[in-house]
Each structure stands twice: as C-alpha cells, then as structure tokens.
Chains A and B, each alone.
Chain A
C-alpha cells in the first residue's frame, strides 16, 4: 500500500515536472539573451520583493545597498561586480550560497523571483513573461548596462 502511494506521488511529481517544461518561457531566455529585453515581468518582481524582504534584507538591507558584510545589490556597486558576467552565474551563486544561514532553502522559482526583483530595482525593464529558473537559459544572458 505504502509503495503504491509512493509511486502515485512520484508520478504526480513527474507530471508536474513535465508540465513545467511546457510553461511559456521568456522570449529573451529563448533567444538573444539581453538583460534589457524585458526578461521578467512586474508580477514576478513583486513576488521577488516579498522573498527579498523575508530572506535577504537582513543582510543586504531593505534598500539593497548592503552593509560592511554584505555587498550592495544596487546601482554602480552592483554593476561593478556583475557587469559582463552571466545571469546564470548570479543565479547559481544565489542558489549555492544564499541565504547565508540556509543556502539553497528557497525554491528555484523563488530564487528566480528574487533575481527579477534585483533586476527591477536596478531599473532593468520588465516585460511580458517571467524569468524562468533554468540554469542553462540564464547562462546565456549577460548582465550588461548597455
């Protein structure tokens, strides 16, 4: 009986995973990989803001400017560190190391949402589709102020 339940749960997970693969993906993530092409949407950035306040702000401050121990995620200080690197690298760092007290404890989508909030805070434009938590797709997007 227990085994059948497990099979049912695994089946449901596989179904959800398969379904997830066919969700609409940001066109920018599919193609050109420019951070200025509206690669996230406003709803996602709002969700990311909530996650940020709950899980990130105690280190990086409510206004994202950081403190002596946590780098600024805003403006020229942020771009100085991340300009020219891929969004995938930032996403990977967030997943592996953040939040410092509980690395990896957010869902992949929540990390992507926080990423969307950071991009919105740095005045990158929102678009129609959401930024999807897809490492290889994010690897193709370069963080650039141009």
Chain B
C-alpha cells in the first residue's frame, strides 16, 4: 500500500489532467483535522450527518421560519443515472463534494455549482507520486462492469464519503476503499478489502474516528467462506489496521448464538449504514443488519445470531468491541436495526438514540450500552417490547414457518429505513422519516450450500397500514427523552429523504412524489415547498459560502427494490421519471442567482 502523502504538486501537471476542470480557479483547501470534525462549525458540513453525533442539524439560521417561504433555486446539478442516488454531500471551504452512483465523486463550487473536479473510478488519473493501482477488470472478474452500465438494484449506491487532511475517502461497489486528493480529484490509494465477485460491496462510506478510517461492508447475504466485517484503515497509507468480524465465530465468545451452524452458513449482519463517533469516549457506534436468511426457520437456527441487528461500540484504534446491544435477538422477519446512531446527551447521561424497521426508539447509554428506554411508536404488530429493559418477545403466531402466511406490520420494507432522522437541540426532538405499510408475508426456503442462502424468498402482499388510511409517508416528531409525540406530518407519497433540521427553526424533508418541504420544526407548519425533477432521495444538508446559507437537496431514483415497490403497488397514481439523479441548491432570493 502506498506510503505517500500529497502535500504539494506542480500546478502545470494538474492543468494537464483531464479530470480537473476548474482547478486553476480554486485555491487548495485547508486540511481537515480531528478538531475540525469535532467542532462541526456552522457553514461547513464535514461529517455525513453534519456532526459526529449524526444530528443532521445545521447551526445556520439565515434561512428561518420568517423567510423560508422565499427560498429559490440557486443552482442544480445532474448526476449519473448508472445506479441509485442516496447522496450525503460534504462541504468544506465552500466546495461541495457529492458522492454519486458507481463511485463517481464530484467537487462543485458550493456557491455557483461549477464543477471543480470529478473522480471516475478507473478513468480518473492517479496522483503524482502515488503508486496506486486502481482495480480493473482482471482483478474484478465476474464483478467487472462497464463504467456506463447500470449497477443493479441496491448496487452502485454511494451514500456517504469522508474528508480528512486534504483527501476525500470513499468505499466502493467493488469492495475497496479509496483516497482521493481533495484538490485535484486524483486517486491517491485504493485498498481492496474483499472479493466483489462473492457479492461483497459497500454502500455506506467511511467515517473518521481518532484519525482512523472506519468502514463497514455489505453484501454478506450469500453463503461463503467469510463473513461481514468492519475495518479500520490508516487514512495516510491505506493500510488496513484492524478487522472486526460482525459474526460471532464458532468457538469464540457468542459463537454458540448461531447454534451448530458452521461459519459459512452464518450470513448477514451487513453494515450498510455509516456510524457515529464520540471523541470523548473514543467510541465508534456502528449498526449491523439482520441475520440471513431472514427467517429463523430458513436460517436453521433460532439462536440470537450475534452480532447481527446490533449496535456495536468499537474502539477505532483497535476494532475491539467495547460493548454491544442486540436490539432484536434472533430476528426473523427482515426487521433491520442497522440504521444511524444519533448521539445526544440527556442531562449528564451520554445517550444514543436509534430506530429500526419496527419503529421502536431505543435510548442507550453510549458509554456502557445499557438500555435506558424503548419507546414503541405503536405501529408494529410483531413484537412485545419492555419499555425499560428493551427486551423483546415475538407475539403469538408471528414466528414465520415455511409456507405459512403471516399478517404483519410493518412489511419487510419496514417503517424506518436508511432515511436518517435528524435531531434539533432547539426543540429537543427527533424528526423521523417513516413509511407506513403492512404485509401478508409467506417465507420460503433456500439452499444451504455455498453460494446459496441469501435473504430467502418471500411471497409478499403489501397493504396500507390501517392507522394511516391512504397515506404511505410520515414525518414523525418525537420529544426526547420522553418519546412523546410532538407532531406528525402524513402524506400519500412515502417520505423519501433523510431529515435536516436547522437553527432557523426548520426541518426539511422530501417525498417520493418529487416534493421538498420546509416546515416549522416546532409545530409542523408548512412554510415552503417546491417540486423537483424526480423523487427527493438522499441526505439534505445546509452550508454557507460567502455569507450565504444554502440548502442542498438530493433527488434520485433507484435504491432498494422495496422503495419503488410500495408506491407502485399502493399508490399507483404516483408516477416519477425513470432517472434524474441530481442535487438542487436553494437560497433566499437576494442570494439565489
């Protein structure tokens, strides 16, 4: 692996490189350090959810309750349509770094929308002095795809990226981690972590924790000789420093939680959402997905299946699991708990808030992993949950048996998904995107052979949630720590973006039917809305350049199969374009150009 750090390079060389378009007009960025990531200065957006605690909150207030109705488009930018868009942009020194499908990263001038550079895997050049060898068709084998090909459902997604020093870091569809020079868009190093031909890939990007690059892999549903993992890399060299197995292995602590299954039949635990970081405790919090196949009866064990469907607290220097909490031991309906960890101190108690597909809001002590409270929002019909201990038990008749239909809410799509919640310190509330749905589900068998496995088949009949009428979408606003309902907004179309809160007293969300909204975070009053080219999809952010606050809203298609299935089946009158991955940036009229 390359031991090279770009500090300077000849301007003439940079001008010769085709991937650089506006380099000459853009001064070098100030290197980002740990203090910058921790400070989360208003105007910058250095972590995928704003701050290291994943609040999805901007401290900017130029756009506020009084003037949000005036928001106008400042600029927009079309992205590739080669895969799903679920972009979580970053902003530093006025440059927006946008992760696109299939590994493309584009640096845009945050005020004008001009392209500064773009990185295209296998096409962009290698930084001067770097001996990086980009993965090519020979290394990728069966996983190789033409650069312009559609990645496939759920593939090619690049949710978040990280910035540190003068580099951008990303995790690829080909199961590698890359470092890109943030000034030129040139590849500095590429570090493979697994064989993509076995299905391994990334959809979540890295985060930086105590100077380490922490990344979780996905694509672990098929039976193979290896299992899901989280790694720590040296951002400077790309060297893999540690690797922590998400699956408790036979003979190791927790290994018996999979019964007698050999390692190759312990699938799942995909780490497909990026984590959060508490620099005071020096702990990374990373979620893991459910075990695969989904149903216990198909997996061949009714054990807890550690460390699936858990929150892991990891030491970023060593990868050691300091504590874990398994939210749904032995999960058996595809009820993922992998999602974002929102770190909020409640009084003197450092807490972690999290919600999975079932719509249970978990509050954990993030120093110990102790359960503080579990608030069932009351939509699910699958488990009983103890509000104090967080212990869950399955309701009678709800354990799947092969070929027997069960009636469950939510559907296997879940109420909560990757669309991250936001926290506002102004209101002490969480703003949680929800999709309302239920399902008649019949789980089926799969072959227990190497290469087999997967999720297991499900005959599914989706139907609307009985509490929601014709509405599929909801923004649920819960006071914390009480968990009491503050207000809710419901819509026919699924709420399809992460939430963004701002110090202007606003919350921004968007829906599948192309609408983006600004609401009063206190009471849900609708203050502004407009309509984009396609579904609002991704992670909205806010930032400031030259004294102007901007709101950036990603729009996109693609994503998990169910994200299109539910509206297609339950709201067929809603139609959207087939493509349209893009980003739309809004400002007040005196600043919009």
Query: A residues bordering B, Cβ < 8 Å?
Result: 57-59, 61-63, 65-72, 75-78, 80-81, 97, 99-103
Chain A proximity mask over B137-168: 1 for CB below 8 Å, otherwise 0: 00000100100011111110000000000000
> 4 more A-B contacts (CB under 8 A) besides A67-B219, A69-B153?
A61-B199, A67-B221, A68-B454, A81-B459
Q: A81-B459, A99-B150 are in contact. Are A66 and B561 (CB under 8 A)?
A: no
Within 8 A of A (CB), among B552-593: 558, 560-561, 564, 568, 578-579
- Minimum CB–CB distance for B151 against chain A, Å: 6
A78 to B270, CA, bound (A): 23
Judging by beta carbons under 8 Å apart, are B154 and A67 in contact? yes
Cβ-neighbour of B578 out of A61, A77, A81, A101 (below 8 A): A101
B320 within 8 A of A: no
A100 to B568, CA, bound (A): 12
A110 to B270, CA, bound (A): 35
B483 within 8 A of A: no
Judging by beta carbons under 8 Å apart, are A80 and B150 in contact? no
Q: A68-B221, A76-B445 are in contact. Are A59 and B454 (CB under 8 A)?
A: no
Q: A59-B152, A67-B221, A69-B560 are in contact. Are A77 and B457 (CB under 8 A)?
A: yes
Chain A proximity mask over B448-468: 1 for CB below 8 Å, otherwise 0: 000110111111000000000
Q: A59-B152, A80-B457, A81-B459 are in contact. Are A65 and B445 (CB under 8 A)?
A: no
B33 within 8 A of A: no
Chain A proximity mask over B358-381: 1 for CB below 8 Å, otherwise 0: 000000000000000000000000
Judging by beta carbons under 8 Å apart, are A58 and B452 in contact? no
16 A-B interface contacts by CB (under 8 A)? A57-B152, A58-B145, A58-B149, A61-B199, A67-B222, A68-B219, A69-B155, A72-B454, A75-B447, A77-B445, A77-B446, A77-B457, A80-B459, A81-B458, A101-B81, A102-B150
Q: A67-B219, A72-B446, A81-B444 are in contact. Are A101 and B150 (CB under 8 A)?
A: yes
The total of Cβ contacts below 8 Å across the A-B interface reads 87
- Minimum CB–CB distance for B276 against chain A, Å: 23
- Minimum CB–CB distance for B178 against chain A, Å: 21
Please count how many residues in chain B sit with their CB below 8 Å of the partner chain's CB atoms: 37
Determine the chain A residues whose CB is within 8 A of the CB of B219 once the complex forms.
Answer: 67-68
* B223: nearest chain-A partner, CB-CB: A65
Q: A61-B199, A76-B446, A77-B457 are in contact. Are A70 and B451 (CB under 8 A)?
A: no
Determine the chain B residues whose CB is within 8 A of the CB of A66 once the complex forms.
Answer: 454
Judging by beta carbons under 8 Å apart, are B457 and A71 in contact? yes
Within 8 A of A (CB), among B275-312: 292
* A76: nearest chain-B partner, CB-CB: B445
